[in-house]
Structure 1
C-alpha cells in the first residue's frame, strides 16, 4: 500500500490517507480480506502522528470500507458490501454523466451513445 502526503493539498492529512486507501480499495489494488498496515506502522512509514492515521482508519471503518478487529488489525471488507457498492454506483453515474454531456456537446444521438455502451458491455 502506497500513501503519498502532499503539503500542497487542500485536504487535511487524515483525509488524504482515507481517500488514497479508499481509492486503492475501489480500484482493486487492495483486495477484500487484505490486512492493512497497523495504525502505528502506517504513521511511522509516512511520517505522521498515530492520531492522524487513527482518524483515517476510523473514517474508513464508518464508511464501510474496512473493519478493525481487536488483535488482528484492519481488514478490507467485501466489495458486495452495500456502502462500497454505493461508491461504485456513484462512480458509474459520474462516468455516464460525463459521457452524456460529451455526447450532447457533439450532437451524438442517444441511440449512438447506447450502441457505444452496448459494445463495451459485450467486451
Structure 2
C-alpha cells in the first residue's frame, strides 16, 4: 500500500492519510485482519510527524476502519464496510438537504429535482 501526501493540498495531512487507507480497505487492497504500517514507520516513510499519523489512525479507529492492539499494532477491522457506507450516506444526505433547500427557494418541483438527479446519476454510466 502506497500512501502519498502533499503539503500543498487543501486537506490536512492526517485526512489525506486516513482517506487513502479507507480507500485501500474498501477496494480490498487491505483485507480484514491485515496489519497496517506502524505509526512510527509510516511517519518516517512520509517524512512527517508521528502526531500526524496518530491523528489519522485515531480517526480511522473512531470510524471503525481499524482496531488497535497494545504492543501488536493496528489492523483492518471487520466492521469497516458498514461504517464506510454509513459515512458516505451521511455525506450524500447533507448534499441532498442543501439541494432541496435551493430547489424549494427557487420554486423547483420535486419531480424536476428527481429528473435532474436521475440525469446526473446516469450521465457517467
TM-score for both structures, normalised by structure 2: 0.69
CA displacement at 1:43 relative to structure 2: 0.3
Match of 2:63 in 1: 63
CA displacement at 1:8 relative to structure 2: 2.2
Q: 1:89 to 1:70 in 2, by over 3 A?
A: same
CA displacement at 1:90 relative to structure 2: 6.8
**Contact 1:79-1:85 within 8 A present in 2 as well:** no
CA displacement at 1:27 relative to structure 2: 1.1
What SS does the corresponding residue of 1:22 show, helix, strand or coil? helix
**Contact 1:4-1:46 within 8 A present in 2 as well:** yes
Once residues 17 and 45 of structure 1 are traced to their aligned partners in structure 2, the CA distance between those partners, rounded to angstroms, is: 12
Once residues 69 and 10 of structure 2 are traced to their aligned partners in structure 1, the CA distance between those partners, rounded to angstroms, is: 32
Q: 1:51 to 1:10 in 2, by over 3 A?
A: same
Q: 1:68 to 1:102 in 2, by over 3 A?
A: same
Match of 2:50 in 1: 50
**Contact 2:64-2:80 within 8 A present in 1 as well:** no
Q: Which runs of 5+ in 1 are unaligned?
A: 106-115, 117-123
Q: Which runs of 5+ in 2 are unaligned?
A: 94-115
Q: 1:102 to 1:49 in 2, by over 3 A?
A: same
Q: 1:28 to 1:87 in 2, by over 3 A?
A: farther
Once residues 4 and 80 of structure 2 are traced to their aligned partners in structure 1, the CA distance between those partners, rounded to angstroms, is: 28
Alpha-carbon RMSD: 3.1
TM-score for both structures, normalised by structure 1: 0.70
